[in-house]
Chain A
């Protein structure tokens, strides 16, 4: 700045051109308008972790249904002579993995040869000679079913409760919030265990135990959102124009709250999967012959020393599902509500 400019360099003629301002062009929108969902999808696609998880989860769901069908064995069929076989997959066995070699009495031997087993078990067999491949995928089905149903019920109750409480406000809201405050005070673990104890163990018992207080989180979030939006101008405008309560709720509030509902549900699912597996592991889960990933891990754990593969496959699958869901949830949260970003 202190340098003195002696001479301004000459510019060739025609370097500048006059652009006349057209009043009609000023308001023109140059890019096509993007809807909220298109925008969200665009952001999800840019999030590699979430996209990858979405594909991974899709594959897991497909395999959960396809797996038991393509396996030549029934998930509950026992073949005692084929018990505790390590995994063996044709072609891949030549690489030195999945070759049916296990330790027996401290030595590495091909257990398939030793036991004269002609067939292959891709994920090996468990202590009763059941095919792990079809068991793991049926277990995935059960785990996902429990998680999705529990999340759906949580969503339904939470949205209705939170919506009513937030929308009508006043005394109703006060009363309903006191109930929620007491319910959220009870630790989740305690509720789940107490409810499992009074019901017959099974899928239904687990779903009820998971949802009995699980909906409170959703109801709080929905209530907060409804409170925020119902006092905004567009709702006032709709009301002035004579819109009914149900129209305001469904047409004006719902679309705004939907993003938060989806995000919350995406985080409910992994926690439901975790709790189901946890309950199965401490012996409060499904009873045989029903099997979920949790019970499979529990079974496998007792044989960890000699046949680690029985634990490995369900454990890996459970972990993959949990990681995928957390990443999808993170991605969705960033995509649907950039302000909420952690």
Chain B
């Protein structure tokens, strides 16, 4: 186990270093720098600005400065949106709303998905099962931005039940975005739990439990559900990825002052420092989550032989 975690950590560091190196050179290649309007500056002013951003040093030194800064959580300085502001501060100040709708969506989706999948498995080939399968297929297929626009149009514009695009009413404002983000986890969990439950329900220990006279609900909850739940951990990674990808567009649609909305805005105005900083932030977030999920899976299910890895 320790060996496995160690190996995964080394890969994680290599991957992150690779991404960081790539972003560093991208920043050098791409247009837009603190001295973008250099023609208007006198040579002396230019030198001052370059010294302030460390651009007067040779490239390798700049590279190591950058990497060292990253280790300390310094993602660089915004270029044109928030002149001179630290990218890290910009991201941190916008984390709250993103985390809120992300967690709410994840929670809502997984809980509903588990319920739906369980009912579908217990009532296999009934109308409940078919409609749950249909919901799962639709949830996986329809992109979150299409779903978010639909919610906004009907619940926001037409029926006026929730704010259309306003981050002021606290929880009420977060309802529609959370639902939009919940669709993918819901569909994935429902599909997954249904297959797992059906498999577990057909296994020997369920037959034994039945033979010993356990009641239907006891079998469903005590035996089948618990064992079906374990493998759900494996899809938490893809779910987190989907929530993050979805948040980029959902935040934009509902005008939520989160990281995703900032990211899209930065793309529009070519603020590469923010784009790269956020990209790095996303990378760390996703890679750590996926690592945690893999480790967690090994911890709660000892049957998995970790040393071999997946596939």
Which residue numbers of A lie inside 8 Å of B, CB to CB? Answer: 181-182, 185-190, 193-194, 197-198, 220-221, 223-224, 270, 274, 277-278, 281-284, 297, 301, 304-305, 308, 311, 315, 318-319, 322-323, 325-327, 330, 341-342
A187, B286: Cβ atoms closer than 8 Å? yes
The main secondary structure of chain A at its interface with chain B is helix
A187, B282: Cβ atoms closer than 8 Å? yes
Q: Which of B270-300 contact A (CB under 8 A)?
A: 272, 275, 279, 282-283, 286-287
Which of B18, B138, B264 is the one whose CB lies under 8 Å from A283?
B264
Quick one: given A187-B287, A323-B138, are A278 and B145 in contact (CB under 8 Å)?
yes
B282, A318: Cβ atoms closer than 8 Å? no
* Docked CA distance A297–B153 (Å): 14
B211 proximal to A (CB < 8 A)? no
Chain B residues near A318 (CB-CB < 8 A) = 143, 146
Residue of A nearest to B272 (CB): A197
* Docked CA distance A342–B197 (Å): 12
Name the 6 nearest CB pairs between A and B, nearest first. A185-B15, A322-B141, A323-B141, A342-B195, A187-B286, A315-B146
Which of A186, A281, A326 is the one whose CB lies under 8 Å from B137?
A326
Which of A186, A278, A282 is the one whose CB lies under 8 Å from B267?
A282
A217 CB to nearest B CB, Å: 10
B29 proximal to A (CB < 8 A)? yes
* Docked CA distance A277–B137 (Å): 19
User: What are 28 A-B residue pairs whose CB atoms fall within 8 Å in the complex?
Assistant: A182-B14, A185-B15, A187-B241, A189-B244, A189-B286, A190-B19, A193-B275, A193-B279, A194-B22, A194-B279, A197-B26, A223-B311, A224-B311, A278-B245, A278-B248, A283-B267, A301-B149, A304-B149, A304-B152, A315-B146, A315-B149, A319-B142, A319-B143, A322-B142, A323-B137, A323-B142, A326-B140, A326-B141
Residue of A nearest to B264 (CB): A282
B112 proximal to A (CB < 8 A)? no
> How many residues on B have C-beta within 8 angstroms of the other chain's C-beta atoms?
45
B82 proximal to A (CB < 8 A)? no
B249, A278: Cβ atoms closer than 8 Å? yes
B236 CB to nearest A CB, Å: 15
* Docked CA distance A223–B282 (Å): 29
Chain A residues near B149 (CB-CB < 8 A) = 297, 301, 304, 311, 315
Chain B residues near A220 (CB-CB < 8 A) = 311
Residue of A nearest to B310 (CB): A220
Q: How many inter-chain contacts with C-beta < 8 Å in the A-B complex?
A: 108
Quick one: given A190-B283, A194-B26, are A342 and B141 in contact (CB under 8 Å)?
no
Residue of B nearest to A198 (CB): B26
Chain A residues near B253 (CB-CB < 8 A) = 301
- Hey, what's the 0/1 contact readout for B28-41 against A, CB within 8 Å counting as 1? 01100000000000
* Docked CA distance A179–B247 (Å): 30
A188, B275: Cβ atoms closer than 8 Å? no
B145, A281: Cβ atoms closer than 8 Å? yes
B195, A189: Cβ atoms closer than 8 Å? no
Residue of B nearest to A316 (CB): B146
B137, B157, B264 pick with most chain A CB within 10 angstroms: B137
A216 CB to nearest B CB, Å: 11
B146, A297: Cβ atoms closer than 8 Å? yes
B195 CB to nearest A CB, Å: 4
B268 proximal to A (CB < 8 A)? yes
Which residue numbers of B lie inside 8 Å of A, CB to CB? Answer: 11-12, 14-15, 18-19, 22-23, 26, 29-30, 137-138, 140-143, 145-146, 149-150, 152-153, 157, 191, 195, 241, 244-245, 248-249, 252-253, 263-264, 267-268, 272, 275, 279, 282-283, 286-287, 311
Quick one: given A189-B282, A326-B137, are A197 and B145 in contact (CB under 8 Å)?
no
A278, B143: Cβ atoms closer than 8 Å? yes
B19, A186: Cβ atoms closer than 8 Å? yes
Quick one: given A224-B311, A308-B153, are A188 and B241 in contact (CB under 8 Å)?
yes
A270, B279: Cβ atoms closer than 8 Å? no
B195, A197: Cβ atoms closer than 8 Å? no
In addition to A187-B283, A197-B26, A305-B157, 19 A-B residue pairs with Cβ atoms within 8 Å of each other are A182-B11, A185-B15, A186-B18, A186-B283, A189-B245, A190-B279, A193-B279, A223-B311, A277-B145, A283-B268, A301-B145, A308-B153, A315-B146, A323-B137, A326-B140, A326-B141, A330-B137, A341-B195, A342-B191
A318 CB to nearest B CB, Å: 7
Chain A residues near B191 (CB-CB < 8 A) = 342
* Docked CA distance A18–B146 (Å): 71
Chain A residues near B141 (CB-CB < 8 A) = 270, 319, 322-323, 325-326
Chain A residues near B249 (CB-CB < 8 A) = 278, 281-282
A328 CB to nearest B CB, Å: 11
Which of B11, B23, B140, B263 is the one whose CB lies under 8 Å from A185?
B11
Chain A residues near B14 (CB-CB < 8 A) = 182, 185
B311, A322: Cβ atoms closer than 8 Å? no
Residue of A nearest to B287 (CB): A185
B252, A282: Cβ atoms closer than 8 Å? yes
A186, A190, A193, A284 pick with most chain B CB within 10 angstroms: A190
Chain B residues near A188 (CB-CB < 8 A) = 241
B282, A190: Cβ atoms closer than 8 Å? yes
* Docked CA distance A169–B3 (Å): 23
A70 CB to nearest B CB, Å: 26
B241, A189: Cβ atoms closer than 8 Å? yes
